[in-house]
Amino acid sequence: MRRVLVTGASRGIGRAIATAFAAHGDRVAVHYASARADAEQTLSVLTGTGHVLVGGDLGDPVAARQVVESAVRDLGGIDVLVNNAAVAPGADNRHPIATTPYEQWHSTWRRMLEVDLLGAADVTHGVVTHLIERGAPGSIVNVGSRGAYRGEPDYPAYGAAKAALHAFGQSMAVALAPYDIAVTSVAPGFISTDRQQAKLDGPDGAEVMSQSPFGRVGTPEEVAAAVLHLSSPEARWSSGAVLDLNGASYLR
């Protein structure tokens, strides 16, 4: 039984990841920023006992530290960290450079970088400090994006933050190997979360599904399965890897 902190676990990919760890017999700290009701729903579907909720805006460095402290206290420690929390692309934060006013451009970049990159870095620092103080091995899995490689012309801050998250994970893999802490990342393509269902059901849905030769998009459960494997002792030699999860929709 491991103690697992999953950030951004109130719905979508994060909920699927929390569910997979719980089904594996692990205890999970379900993190949320503001959607407590959604996080409580995640908690209610987890198998097993001993799971907890931890809230906090990871764009705030003080809150990020408190999230780790709360998870350590309530779980009795952390063995696995999944950095999944992110400000995801949406209609309210679209920012193509040619048509976005400077003030909106600046605020969108700041917010995405604060949560998607700096928040993950701050939580990682807290968990790593805890693991080193315990003298314990651990695993960290970062949830990046295909957009880090393919480009995100309408959401450049998101693509840049995810590319930086991948690079951060590789730096940490080298830095933390002497402490027996493995660090990997996944780079999902388009995933059929609740948030994306409207696009899949709309006029662009067929084009999105045609991006993959499988003729569909990925599922949160497929991402969760990969994260669960990469966090396992059997995948330790994968430390430093970034695993593409995009159904051959983008090859590099």
| CATH 2.30.30.90 for the 3-245 domain, yes or no | no
186: β partners: 143, 243
Angle between helices 12-23 and 220-230 (to 10 degrees): 50
What are the residue ranges of helices labelled H in 52-177?
Answer: 61-75, 102-112, 120-134, 147-150, 156-176
pLDDT for 70 = 98
Q: What is the mean pLDDT of the chain?
A: 96
pLDDT digits (tens, 9 = 90+) for 163-185: 999 999 999 999 999 999 999 99
Q: Are strands 138-143 and 27-32 parallel, antiparallel or unpaired?
A: unpaired
In percent, the amount of the chain with pLDDT more than 70 equals 100
Supply the pLDDT for residue 193: 80
Q: What is the pLDDT of residue 198?
A: 73
Q: Is 50 exposed, middle or buried (0-12, 13-18, 19+ CB in 10 A)?
A: middle
- Evaluate whether 27 touches 33 at the Cβ level (below 8 Å): no
Q: What pLDDT is attached to residue 204?
A: 82
- Check residue 217 and give its pLDDT: 93
Q: Where are the alpha helices (DSSP H) in 33-60?
A: 36-45
For the residues 44-73, what does the mean pLDDT come to?
Answer: 98
Rounded distance between C-alpha atoms, residue 25 and residue 1, angstroms: 6
Q: Is the pLDDT of residue 249 over 80?
A: yes
Q: What is the pLDDT of residues 115-154, one digit of tens each?
A: 999 999 999 999 999 999 999 999 999 999 999 999 999 9
What distance lies between CA 4 and its chain's CA centroid?
Answer: 13
pLDDT at 48: 97
Contact 165, 182 (CB under 8 A): no
What are the sequence ranges of the domains in the chain? 3-245
A 10 A CB-CB count for 23 gives 13
**Which are the catalytic amino acids?**
158
The predicted model gives 91-95 an average pLDDT of 95
Q: Is the pLDDT of residue 194 over 90?
A: no
pLDDT tens-digit series, residues 199-231: 777 888 888 889 999 999 999 999 999 999 999
Q: Smallest Cα–Cα separation from 228: which of 13, 12, 11?
A: 13
The closest alpha carbon to 71, from 19, 39, 33, 29, belongs to 29
Contact 83, 7 (CB under 8 A): yes
pLDDT band at 196 (very low <50, low <70, confident <90, very high): confident
